Chain A
Amino acid sequence: MAHKDSAPHGAQGGHGAPGAHGNAGAHAPAAHDAHAHAHPTWKQYKWVALILTVITAVEVWIYYIPSFVASKLFVPSLLIMSAVKFAIVVMFYMHLKYDHRLFRALFTGPLIIAVVTIISLMFLFGHLAVRLGS
């Protein structure tokens, strides 16, 4: 038996109901068939963990390079790495990449509102500024 190589999520027809689908809880067996092959495997989970660890190590490493901290690249690179980690966890560990569109909408909608709120407040309180004209 290839337990390790099988798709761990939804391999038994999802969350337990025979005929029901594993990833999104959809009724239609056809939906299950269409998505069953797309779940992460054990190896993918381990690779995801490794990538997250490496990115975290890089984040901490650049924190200790004074010349890089002083450069304009420091904050954007940290934000990009953080966003990549965030997206990886949401897509693979939370299975949102394989889940129903409604779940994606329920998460990304409020997330967009949250990010826009943070950016708006940063502008409002003068932590960010847009230079207009020359």
Chain B
Amino acid sequence: MSASPALDHVEAGAHGHHYTTTGLDNRKIAIWAFIGSECMLFASLISTYLIYKGRSVVGPFPHEVCNPPACATVLKPILNIPVTSASTFVLLMSSLAMVLALAAVENRNLPKHTTSDRILGSSKLWLWATCILGAGFLAFQAYEFTSFVHEGLTIRTNLFGSSFFTLTGFHGAHVTAGVIWLGTLLAIDYKRGLGPADAINVDIAALYWHFVDVVWIAIFTLVYLIQ
């Protein structure tokens, strides 16, 4: 708070909403437009995967056993459903942590009387939880990619490898960007605390994070479960 009322107004404007003629915050319009464009990006990647599905000449294959001569030796289906199911659960839980982080930021000024209130109202706790769960998902993906390479599937092996690594790699890059974004919010929270005035910034990060989650919901079904 400055001594000058005029300066106060400027400061409030600097941290306040950026309204458009629609009466809506332009940052929120921008993130929804961005998410819309990302829908089409992932649609193109998913389409490519589905078009090439079942058209690989050489193995390993996602759901089928690969027998000679397509493979030098008999190879099992390469997708590891239990591991991917676990990583899917981790990502879903990260979305829960994210909404709780946003709620904690919005309700920062409410009094917290009970331990439960303090836990639910801790934005640092939920941002950490989201970051750790996101990093956990990336660890699962790194494990999966490494095991695939050890089993002979690289991005150059066959059509499945090319389209699979491109699709899941793009998604992993988005998760990585999300974890970095959440890390910056966490740093701000430690530096000066995130309050209701910052809720729009957390909301925008949350929308991006949930979008990454819904994309994975589609990928998990279309790539991993449908044979």
Query: Residues of A at under 8 Å CB distance from B?
Result: 1, 3-4, 6, 8-17, 20, 22, 24-28, 31, 40, 42, 45-46, 48-49, 52-53, 56, 59-60, 63, 69, 74-75, 78-79, 81-82, 85-86, 89-90, 93-94, 100, 102-103, 106-107, 109-111, 113-115, 117-118, 121-122, 125, 127
Residues of chain B from 16 to 38 with CB closer than 8 A to chain A in the complex = 16-17, 19, 22-25, 28-29, 32-33, 35-37
Q: A25-B19, A49-B93, A115-B43 are in contact. Are A59 and B210 (CB under 8 A)?
A: no
The number of chain B residues with a CB under 8 A from chain A is 73
Known: A9-B103, A25-B17, A94-B210. A53 touches B29 (CB 8 A): no
Q: A96 vs B47: C-alpha distance in the bound complex, in angstroms?
A: 26
How distant is the Cα of A103 from the Cα of B23 in the complex, in angstroms? 12
- Any chain A CB within 8 A of the CB of B156? no
- B136 on interface, CB distance cutoff 8 Å: no
Using A4-B116, A27-B19, A122-B50 as known contacts, say yes or no to A102 and B221 having CB atoms under 8 A apart.
no
Main secondary structure on B side of the interface with A: helix
Q: Tally of A-B residue pairs with Cβ under 8 A?
A: 201
**B200, A25: Cβ atoms closer than 8 Å:** yes
Q: Is the CB of B95 within 8 A of A89?
A: yes
Name B residues whose Cβ lies closer than 8 Å to a Cβ of A. Answer: 15-17, 19, 22-25, 28-29, 32-33, 35-37, 39-40, 42-44, 46-47, 50-51, 53, 81, 85, 88-89, 92-93, 95-96, 98-100, 102-104, 106-114, 116-117, 120-121, 195-200, 203, 206-207, 210-211, 213-214, 217-218, 220-222, 225-227
A16–B196 contact, CB under 8 A?
yes
- Chain B residues whose CB sits within 8 angstroms of the CB of A11 once the complex forms: 106-107, 110
How far in angstroms is the closest Cβ of chain A from B168? 16
Nearest B residue to A20 by beta-carbon distance? Answer: B17
A127 close to B50 (CB less than 8 A): yes
Chain B residues positioned under 8 Å from A122 (CB to CB) = 47, 50-51
B63 to chain A, nearest CB (A): 10
Task: Check A12–B107 contact: CB distance below 8 A.
Answer: yes
Residues of chain A with a CB closer than 8 A to B40's CB: 110, 113-114, 117
CA distance A7 to B99 in the complex (A): 12
CB of A16 within 8 A of CB of B197, answer yes
With a CB–CB cut-off of 8 A, which chain B residues contact A82? 217-218, 220-222
Bound-state CA distance A130–B210 (Å) is 35
Asked if residues B92 and A15 are in contact (CB atoms below 8 Å), the reply is no
Contact A94 B207 (CB under 8 A): yes
Closest Cβ–Cβ distance, residue B79 to chain A (whole Å): 10
Task: With both chains docked as a complex, state the minimum distance between the C-beta of A24 and any C-beta of chain B, in angstroms.
Answer: 6
Residues of B within 8 A of A6 (CB): 107, 110
B96 close to A107 (CB less than 8 A)? no
Q: Do the beta carbons of A107 and B51 come within 8 Å of each other?
A: no
Q: Complex: how many Å from CA A31 to CA B99?
A: 22
User: What are 13 A-B interface contacts by the 8 Å CB criterion?
Assistant: A4-B120, A11-B110, A14-B106, A15-B17, A15-B203, A25-B17, A42-B103, A48-B96, A89-B213, A102-B32, A107-B39, A117-B44, A127-B50
A86-B113 in contact (CB<8A): no
Please indicate the chain B residues that have their CB under 8 angstroms from the CB of A127 in the complex. 50-51, 53
- Determine if B100 and A45 form an interchain contact, defined as CB atoms under 8 angstroms apart: yes
Q: Which residues of A contact B109 (CB under 8 A)?
A: 12
**Given A6-B107, A25-B19, A117-B40, A86 contacting B217 (CB threshold 8 A):** yes
